[in-house]
Amino acid sequence: MSHPTGAADARFPAHPFDPFDDDKLHEECGVFGVIGLTDAANFVALGLHALQHRGQEAGGIVAHHPDHGFNSARRFGYVRDNFTSHKVMETLPGPLAIGHVRYSTTGSKGNTAIRDVQPFFGEFAMGGAAIAHNGNIVNAEELRRELIGRGSIFQSSSDSECIIHLMARSYQKTIPERMKDALRRVEGAFSIVAMTRTKLIGVRDALGVRPLVLGRLGEGWVLSSETCALDIIGAEYVRDVEPGEMVVINGTGIESYMPFEPRKPRSCIFEHVYFSRPDSILGGRSVYETRRQIGVELAREAPVDADLVCPVPDSGTPAAIGFSQESGIPYAMGIIRNQYMGRTFIEPTEQIRNMGVRLKLNVNRALIRDKRVILVDDSVVRGTTSRKIKEMILDAGAAEVHFRIASPPTAWPCFYGVDTPEREKLLASTMSEEEMRAHLHVDSLRFISLDGLYRAVGEAKGRNTHAPQYCDACFTGDYPVRPTDMAAKGFEFCKEPAE
């Protein structure tokens, strides 16, 4: 489906009765790139399909063929609805391609224009280049004002376009060197997949907040946000791109550079809790096993007498399994998810809108009746979904409802590529754990401790308060990169970033 530049896709809004739209931390974005394979764009489409959980708003692919040059396709909606068409894919020939799936974290949220959809392309003196970005540039507004003042003309509302303009103004002789120049001006969190006519480029910021992995498929190379996308095309995982590393891949092999001042890495801990797919390997650890271990830690920290442990599907499932195994309380599917409830459902009437969460989740009444139920979920953001689920469980005849949450209380917004509500809309920013329990009207509510979460990701001694091992700003307010644009707007930070 084509859309005029500047027009949002009316068929693909944030769905008004999707209970997870306003009560979850939304995925960032996903990036994928391939070099050295015939019809590389087909592999990119498959990779983006595996990364769909990281962004469902829009997607794009840019490919290069030695005879046909650069070609691109950008579409609203799911990968499966756009990039499985032979008519579309035949417009993207060549052995080199990159792609991006988007959930908007900056720019026109919920009103995305086609011009905001990545990858972005630029024509330079030494040839064209395309770039796809996962993360957030926290000084983008400052850079944009500077660049516009110097004559740059922006085509999108995305912070990622700043990188293209900074590259255009660099005096370096090659595109990789121009990219290094540009990224040294950029603050924030980013994993980047880019391409020239002959090279595939991958970069992670100095802290390594957002993930990026390197894979091999035959004579070709692959860059991906997660390992699960390597699996779908049969590629072999080689290694993570290191924090602060730039890899440049061409027909002869890989060159590695470290263009940034070295810093102690602090990757995003919430990738382990929620964002990454459970079948991915993140930082050498199984995401599924980490989430199961979170459940184990929760059972140790917050035991409760009950009859059943039930996940809030699907993100609470591994933690619920771990809680059940550690506590000895039976695991059960007390809530069933309607797998066919998509965003392109019928236009909602007021009656349907009031059904809310019931359109997506249904209680297994025969199982729940007269039982003391432990519900395990990945997070509580606004608390609206938690209240609705609790009401459904009680309506089904449960005797007691106990919430166990597989992350610490989310009390601070993320500025590194995750769409979070404003701080005052985060339940944990204004309430204690007991106040949240009373607000949700449940028999008990417990979150995993910060140290418990760190133990679950393999840090046996918990969090190092003097030098935290991960970015956990959404829980602590300890921002490892000070968000320049937000500071200029008067955002009140709780502390200086840890060194």
Span 357-374, pLDDT tens digits: 667 788 999 999 999 999
Give the Å distances, CA to CA, from 463 to 123, 396, 412, 467, 469. 46, 40, 18, 8, 7
pLDDT at residue 13, as a whole number: 34
Three-state DSSP at 23 gives coil
89 or 351: which leads in pLDDT: 89
Backbone angles phi, psi at 294, to 5 degrees: -60, -40
Give the Å distances, CA to CA, from 6 to 9, 108, 114, 376, 428. 10, 10, 6, 41, 37
- Taking residues 174-193, report their average pLDDT: 94
Query: Distance between CA 465 and CA 475 in Å, rounded?
Result: 13
- 361, 386 contact by CB (below 8 A): no
Query: Distance between CA 74 and CA 152 in Å, rounded?
Result: 23
Please name every residue paired with 404 in a beta bridge, in sequence order, or none if there are none: 376, 446
29 assigned to active site:
yes
- Taking residues 239-262, report their average pLDDT: 94
Q: Is the model's pLDDT at 15 over the cut of 90?
A: no
- Taking residues 206-231, report their average pLDDT: 97
Residue with tokens 């905001």: 116
Q: Which of 55-69, 78-92, 97-111, 154-168 has the lowest mean pLDDT?
A: 97-111
Across the chain, mean pLDDT equals: 88
Kindly report, residue by residue over 392-444, the tens digit of the pLDDT: 999 999 999 999 999 999 999 999 988 777 888 899 999 999 999 999 999 99
pLDDT at residue 344, as a whole number: 37
C-alpha 450: how far from its chain's center?
21
- 138, 486 contact by CB (below 8 A): yes
Q: Is the model's pLDDT at 108 over the cut of 70?
A: no
pLDDT at residue 351, as a whole number: 54
Buried b (16+ CB within 10 A) or exposed e, 419-434: bbbeeeebbbbebeee
Query: Distance between CA 222 and CA 145 in Å, rounded?
Result: 35
Give the burial class of 261: count Cβ atoms within 10 A of its Cβ; 0-12 exposed, 13-18 middle, 19 or more buried.
exposed
Q: Which two tokens stand for residue 291?
A: 């989430």
pLDDT at residue 352, as a whole number: 54
Query: Distance between CA 164 and CA 430 in Å, rounded?
Result: 40
Kindly report, residue by residue over 34-79, the tens digit of the pLDDT: 999 999 999 999 999 999 999 989 999 999 999 999 999 999 999 9
- Percent of the chain, pLDDT > 90? 73
DSSP state of 273: I
C-alpha 212: how far from its chain's center?
12
DSSP state of 15: P
Q: Which of 41-50, 167-176, 235-244 has the lowest mean pLDDT?
A: 167-176
Q: Where on the phi/psi map is residue 462: left (φ > 0), alpha (ψ -120 to 50), or beta?
A: left
pLDDT at residue 109, as a whole number: 45
* Annotated catalytic residue within 29, 228, 310, 414: 29
Between CA 399 and CA 408, with CA 405 as vertex, the angle to 5 degrees is 145
Q: How confident is the model at residue 488 (pLDDT cuts 50, 70, 90)?
A: confident
- 472, 478 contact by CB (below 8 A): yes
Please name every residue paired with 216 in a beta bridge, in sequence order, or none if there are none: 221, 236
Kindly report, residue by residue over 279-311, the tens digit of the pLDDT: 999 999 999 999 999 999 999 999 999 999 999
Query: Distance between CA 476 and CA 418 in Å, rounded?
Result: 16
Give the Å distances, CA to CA, from 75 to 3, 12, 88, 347. 8, 11, 10, 21
* Cα torsion 126, 127, 133, 137: sign: positive
Neighbours of 369 (CB within 10 A): 12
Query: Distance between CA 485 and CA 136 in Å, rounded?
Result: 11
- Taking residues 222-236, report their average pLDDT: 98
Q: Which of 150-154, 227-231, 245-249 has the lowest mean pLDDT?
A: 150-154
- Taking residues 324-350, report their average pLDDT: 74
Q: Where are the alpha helices (DSSP H) in 234-337?
A: 270, 287-301, 317-327
pLDDT at residue 368, as a whole number: 94
pLDDT at residue 400, as a whole number: 97
- Taking residues 338-344, report their average pLDDT: 57
251 or 462: which leads in pLDDT: 462
pLDDT at residue 45, as a whole number: 98
Query: Distance between CA 291 and CA 320 in Å, rounded?
Result: 9
pLDDT at residue 346, as a whole number: 42
